Amino acid sequence: MALAVQARDTNADAIAEVNGNLAVGEARREKLAEAIEEVDAEITTLNATITKAQELRKKDASQNADSIKTAERGRNGVAQAIDTLEKFYKSAANEAKKSLLQLGRKAAVAGGTSSEPAPDAGFSTSYAGSQDAKEGVIGMLEVVKADFERSIKETKEAEATAKRELNELETTSGSSLAAKKEAKKATEKSLTEADAEDEKDRANLKKYQGLLDGALAELEALHAPCIGGGMTAEERKIQRQEEMDALQKVLCILDQHGVGGIESC
């Protein structure tokens, strides 16, 4: 009975300890699972941010490339127009000079053969392509050309800045993703270990419960023969006396058997 009581108390204490471990382990496992969910959400958000930024960058790069091409075509067209006008005005000015020289020669020839002045032709110079308007027209075109060049420069600078910002975002986000993935990996390992401990504790709980049940069954089986079914000491003394008297009567009957005098027993 002492061994059974000891087994009962030892296994009951072990069960209490295992139950405490299970409670702590369950809380830890829940916390680890929540941490994994949070890291997963953060990783998903970072990936979505990077993907969106890359898509926007690709779209902006295409638009910037189109803007640069359009501005370059405009600039080249205006530059060609300026070149054409400058050649035109230069050619017209040269033709006007030639005409003046020719008129001068004719006037000199005419003046040498007659004392009368040369007749007025109605104009003093040949048409030179409105040389006075040259500076205004070409100046306006130069302004337009400068606008195109400024647009090209600003667009290229904006494109370079956007590329640099995307690279910085990818670098920063990449480092953050790597750190979060490592943290998730470590947390998953801890959760796996916690699951293994929980499984071990549950196996121990089952084992200790079986041992406790065995000790209780043993105590119950030992109770009647050792304690006497709950009889008092006086009752057990009377019961033993009655058993002794019965045995004496049996012995007496056996002794008188075949001799006679059984009635005296």
Quick one: tokens of 50? Answer: 């990077």
Q: Can you tell me the distance from the alpha carbon of 179 to that of 194, in angstroms, rounded to the nearest whole number?
A: 22
Q: What is each CA distance from 263 to 245, 256, 258, in whole angstroms?
A: 16, 9, 13
Residues 58 and 142 reside in one and the same domain? yes
Q: Are 151 and 67 in contact (CB under 8 A)?
A: yes
Residues 216 and 245 reside in one and the same domain? no
Average pLDDT of the residues in 227-250: 78
Q: What is each CA distance from 188 to 27, 37, 86, 88, 221, in whole angstroms?
A: 15, 11, 77, 80, 49
**pLDDT score for 98:** 60
Q: Are 94 and 131 in contact (CB under 8 A)?
A: no
Q: Would you tell me how many other CB atoms lie within 10 Å of the CB of residue 11? A: 20
Residues 198 and 245 reside in one and the same domain? no
User: Can you give the residue range of the structural domain that contains 258?
Assistant: 233-265
pLDDT digits (tens, 9 = 90+) for 165-174: 999 999 999 9
Residues 240 and 221 reside in one and the same domain? no
Residues 72 and 175 reside in one and the same domain? yes
Q: How many Cα atoms sit within 13 Å of 219 on the Cβ side?
A: 14
| Average pLDDT of the residues of the chain | 84
Residues 99 and 208 reside in one and the same domain? yes
Residues 114 and 239 reside in one and the same domain? no
Residues 45 and 147 reside in one and the same domain? yes
Average pLDDT of the residues in 149-157: 96
Q: What is each CA distance from 111 to 99, 102, 115, 154, 255, in whole angstroms?
A: 18, 14, 6, 65, 201
**pLDDT score for 170:** 94
**pLDDT score for 236:** 73
Average pLDDT of the residues in 191-220: 95
Is the Cα dihedral 121, 124, 129, 133 positive or negative? negative
Q: How many Cα atoms sit within 13 Å of 87 on the Cβ side?
A: 6
Average pLDDT of the residues in 6-25: 96
Residues 125 and 192 reside in one and the same domain? yes
**pLDDT score for 257:** 67
**pLDDT score for 99:** 60
Q: Which helix (H) or strand (E) covers residue 230, if one does?
A: none
**pLDDT score for 250:** 82
Is the per-residue pLDDT at 23 higher than 90?
Answer: yes
Q: Can you tell me the distance from the alpha carbon of 165 to that of 54, in angstroms, rounded to the nearest whole number?
A: 11
Per the listing, tokens 């007659």 go with 114
**pLDDT score for 123:** 41
Q: How many Cα atoms sit within 13 Å of 152 on the Cβ side?
A: 15
* pLDDT-based confidence at residue 260 (cuts at 50, 70, 90): low
User: How many domains does one find in the chain?
Assistant: 2
Q: Can you tell me the distance from the alpha carbon of 166 to that of 61, in angstroms, rounded to the nearest whole number?
A: 12
More confidently predicted of 164 and 243: 164
Residues 71 and 178 reside in one and the same domain? yes
Q: Can you tell me the distance from the alpha carbon of 265 to that of 252, in angstroms, rounded to the nearest whole number?
A: 6
pLDDT digits (tens, 9 = 90+) for 77-136: 999 999 988 888 887 666 656 665 565 555 555 555 444 444 444 444 444 445 556 678
Average pLDDT of the residues in 182-203: 96
**pLDDT score for 156:** 96
Q: Can you tell me the distance from the alpha carbon of 158 to that of 73, in angstroms, rounded to the nearest whole number?
A: 19
Q: Can you tell me the distance from the alpha carbon of 155 to that of 132, in angstroms, rounded to the nearest whole number?
A: 36
* pLDDT-based confidence at residue 138 (cuts at 50, 70, 90): confident
Residues 239 and 257 reside in one and the same domain? yes
CATH of the domain at 78: 1.10.287
Least confident piece of the model among 31-35, 79-83, 222-226, 256-260:
256-260
**pLDDT score for 249:** 82
Residues 242 and 197 reside in one and the same domain? no
CA trace torsion 260, 261, 262, 265 (10° rounding) = -150
Task: Tell me how far apart the terminal alpha carbons of the chain are, to the nearest angstrom.
Answer: 42
pLDDT digits (tens, 9 = 90+) for 34-71: 999 999 999 999 999 999 999 999 999 999 999 999 99
